[in-house]
Structure 1
Amino acid sequence: MSDSIVFSGLAMSEQQALGTYHTYFNAFDSVVSILSAAHDPDCLVDMLQVLGQASRSSMTGLYLNDEQGKLAKLVAAWRDPDCRLLEYTPTPFLSLDYDQYALLADTLAVGMVLNKSLLELPLAEQMLLAQVGIRQLLCIPLLQGGELFGFLAFLNDSDSRQRDTIELRLLAMLSNHIAQALGKAKLEAESLANQHRLRALVGATQDMVFELDAHGVIRHVWSGHPALPAAETLLDRPMAAVLPYELAHELIRSLPQVLAGQSSKQFNCVLPQQNVCLLVRMQPVGVEHQRSVVVLLQDVSALMHDAARKKTLLETLNLLDEAIVDVLPNGVLTEVTSAWGQLRALEPRDLSAELGRTLYSWVHPEDLNLVTQLIERQLLSREASCVRFRLLRADHDFIWVELRLITHFGPDERATALRGVVRDVTVAHLNEQNITQMALYDGLTRLPNRLLLDTEIHRAIDEAARAHRKVGLGFVDLDHFKQINDAFGHKTGDDLLVLLSQRLRDALPDNAVLARWGGDEFVALIPDLADQRELAQIAEQLRLSARQSMMINGMETQPTISVGFAIYPDNAESGEELLSAADHTMYHAKHAGRNSVCFYSDIVHLKALGREHVAIQSRLSSAIRHGGLQVFYQPIVNARSGDIIAVEALARWMDDKSGWISPELFIPMAEKVGLIQELSEQIMLQSFAKLREWRESGLSQKLMINVSRSQLYLPTFVTTLVERLANFKLRPSDVIVEITESVALTDYARQMRHLRQLSDAGFVLAIDDFGTGYSSLSQLHDMPAQMLKVDVSFAQRLHTDEGRRVMQAIAQMAQGLQLDLVIEGVESLETVRFLQGLGVNFMQGFYFSQPVPPGVAELWMRLGLQAKM
């Protein structure tokens, strides 16, 4: 009985396999027929329909790579009308960046098939496919000569469609045929284009070829010339009767000589009336008593005009400041223009004495190797090259010049000479040096800045990795620098930083780099490090050098520093991780009592927490740059009606490895690594898009966004914000801009100007975290704000008499200043009742709602939160 079941199962399996083969053989025939009509613009869609129906796919697509192979662009697609996928193709699907989808790129690059369900894919691919509703993905590479030039995508709206080995193999074979057909069509198109170009080239020639017999009669004409009679008027006619006199005269005079001498002859002939210059070649052909002459007329009018222009150009070059020089492969000068004498500060009579000497005679010794190597390379290249060096003048001064060279090759393809243009770039060179100094070095201490330090760190790590050595990196912070600035002024503080930087640099090894990180922080980079013991000695020298006495405004002082060191590869695997580890260690040194040195390896709790912190920071940078953050919304509730008046946009981050990361961790991280602007802009764009959807669905609540200090400092922030809102068909009055009290009070006069610009543009302004920035009543009165958001710490103290009295005072002040008051951190009904008794209209907190996804926020906005009141 069991044998018959097995046999029946095998028979069914064979039938299914036969059915699969039959389906794909029919598909193969259809695809071959479709691709045979490749000129039809709809053939690719028809082909994808055949593939989709055969493979029972919800959607099929053909992607072809761009010329660089970086992007895959959707060139054709077919969708099953009965499937559940979106009926339109979202923008992200139209052009796929391989760098963003590592699994897809790596799998296709090695010629493998990618066959995964949605949950088996990395997050980037999941987010892409989820936009359309795709649950199953099959991608088959299209290869030509072993190189990937595109792929076929088979998409399903459920993950129940499983393909066995036979079907995948048949699909791969069919895809291989499609790849060959597409490649063949491309080659045929290129071949046809080449044929058109060849016809155009032949038709563009103005040469004329004809044959003369011994009597001067034109017997054959193979091509014509616009300035001469047409071919049909020349055949079997004496050349004296049909050709211009100047040409016929020379041909008649030379014909007997060519026929008798059996050798070719060449001469130039000018046709004045036609304004044409011809190069005429006469070649005898045939045997004795049957000789004739083939005449080739080549129009050299353009060449003659060009030769005249070149002569004029050479005469003009002598009027320029740039010198033209001809140099032999060994560097000897053979020709120079008069400008060479100006560069060398020579008298005109001395210019000829320069010829025969090598160019190297006047190159600064430090630049000689650079110029020699350039000329040696240039002798092997057909491309122009350039070098900048110092040239010795006759007055024994050096000037900076730029030499651009091209190579002249002989018939044997060997370099015979070099031609160059030499110009004085002394002023430009000095300006570039100043610009480089400003771009890469700190203006106060003249130490390398962050940009140059970053380059040096990566260079040191690369060299250490090759040589199996270590790299030490330390953050150095001047203790109590703020007190020095406050007591003596910024000028004295700057003088202290300059003196300290000199002492720190003198305490470091010669190969070390000391950079200014910012403020009172420095970074010491120690490349080619042997071990931590050597680093400990260097660190102690740094600490002691800072302790030396110095005079400040006539007073002797002994500053101290806090130093934190980390080591590559012991404590970090990259430059970013090394900086972060050293930074954490330095703060540990400050918290440990200052005037001390700490090492990352000695801080036990940082070994695990710090490394994870660094890893999270690295992943945060990637998430911000690749749009990996989400926006949640927390409602602001009208305490009287329960209606929601606005929702605050808040950044949320789901990390692939660590799950949800608290904003209290990743927001300061973004500020520290300089990505807070990118983070804020990403949150703005997402929330503006969602607000546009809410407006279209009839919702009128305002959107509340947070603005960072760095954004508010940008001169173009307000205009950029207005433009972005306009792009989403929104107005400034739709948005409440939150600015923390501490930010609003930093550089009060400057920030007031920015706040007024926001207010004048139509934005509602809210002072966030009120009560933590020590603002005065006069400042609040002057600020163009309409709303105060009281910091959560005040709501948390309402269980005390003092806390209730403070809240009552804040409420009365807001009423007196005619400012709307929003109390943050409301977590209980008791707090709601107390605040209602104070006349507070607006509240926000977990009692009403935590920050929620857009869909939940939309539900609250529609229904309200009256049940909470």
Structure 2
Amino acid sequence: MADELELYKRYLKALSSVAEVLLEGTSEQNLTEVLQLLVANSGIDCCALFLNKPEKNAQGAKLYCTWSSAEAVSQLSDFMQFRDIDYQKYPLLFDTLHAGMVFSKNIAELPIEEATLFGTQQIHTALCIPLLMQDKMEGFLGLFSRNESRNWLPIEVSVLCAITNSLALALVRKRAEQNLEASSERLKALVGATEDMIIEYDLNGHIVNVWSDNSSFSIGLASGIAGLTLEQALPDDMTQAIRRATPKLLAGSNRETFEFTLNIDSTDRFFLGRLQMLPSETGQTRNIVALIRDITELMREEAQRLSMLETLNLLEEAIIDLSLDGLLLNFSGAWNKLLDLPSGHTNDHLGKPLIDFVYQDDRPALVSAIHLLASGKKHSEAVRFRLLQGQDPVWIEAHLLAHHSLQGQITALRGVLRDITSSYLQERRITQMALHDALTQLPNRILLEEHLQQSIARAQRGNEKVALGFIDVDYFKHINDTLGHKAGDIVLVTLSKRLQSVLREIDTLSRWGGDEFVVLLPDASSEHDIRRIAERMRKVALKSIDLDGIETKITLSIGLAIYPDDADSSETLMSMADHTMFHAKSVGRNNVQFFQDIRATLKR
């Protein structure tokens, strides 16, 4: 017991000494001194610090520093295996450390891989403690003994783990300091490379820092303005612009822009500024940074730049050069991205026609656009097409421009190919919403009328018939009143599916509104076919519908009119079919009526 107490005191003293050394810093010399203390207090032969390789996805550690006892015949660093440890070769060591556990083994207990590693140094006992930095294993501390009878007591392991944690914290602090120093140097370099003036001020309007290259900045502020208020240090117009923008930033905006004009040397100069919040140097409060740029020259060059905006706007995606007959002369790296090909796999595309990479159905529009530009009939042209790429097509919006020589001749075509697949699909969805009923997804009145006009035009050319029918659900109001509107919706959706199941692909079923549907039967060769389809619709509606356990049966009143037998226009055809449907309801419902059969009745 006395021996353990003495051992505990010795290790506590070592822990205190290590803490003092690490407070001085984490230079290689200091870390080596820590290892020396551990060797002296633990009576081992060698102590080493291994740090994981910094490279991404690297599976290994490098020997950072080591210390051996005076009795050691060789240094650990003399052996190549210890200079660069490949974790993949030593799975037991890696798995143990990666799990955040202590690796304490006698050589006789080790697999062949680890036994060979430690055997090269005649190490009989190894104690490896992981360096955990933010819960991630970043290396390990190794304590090695050539004494076959060396065993580690729990108290030793506990104190050595505490020392290892102190090492890890010191290394984390060193890394943070290095990152901070690098960020500071980077900020200085960035500020030095920009023409912006950067002013940092606190929430009370007192200037904290100023960065600017006065040789390139036209305001020319006096030095030593840190500590002054904005009003004391800056021109009035500049101060007022900053003050106006500050409340908007404080109200929750991520950043706020502002503009102001200063008269300098009898000349108006224009400035653009941006405000953004950032932590103060202490991290306890937040300050505001104003980035201010003199945009006078940019505004003066606006007229000249306007001629370049078309091209600049095209630089979002792939830039291509085409010959006048549509051959690829050059393209940017984004061409590979559009085709989903690795870089270098498109070198053989040069000299090939652009249309070779376009869907067959979309080629005529592209060929027409190229012809218009090459012939001088148009200066620019926009065309949409699909690129051949995998299973799913990529929709492209191409902005093409005729390129002229100094003599005014058209020498080539230049343009940008932009991937608009997402926006195109969104357009399709919007069109779907605009032309279809939200509940049943059936075509609405707008789409129905368009189909009706097309059907009548085809019927005129082909001497065929077009039938139009109005369909009304009998006693639908009773369903809504007794079972609720949700039940009514179920009836409408179910009915629409059943009616569609008995129609042809070329037929159109539309929801007219409420419980009314309209069916369009184009390209009908005979009246008999129309009557057969109408009767199928009436019968399929008779099937019962389960509404929360209540078997509900519905019937339909259907009225049809036929072009050109009953009407000579789409408006008249709709009117005749509507009147016929009301007649079907008046004679008892659950029936199909044709206008030509009741013409005389309606006249009376």
TM over 0.5: no
When normalised by structure 1's length, the TM-score is: 0.32
More contact order relative to length (CA 8 Å, sep ≥ 6): 2
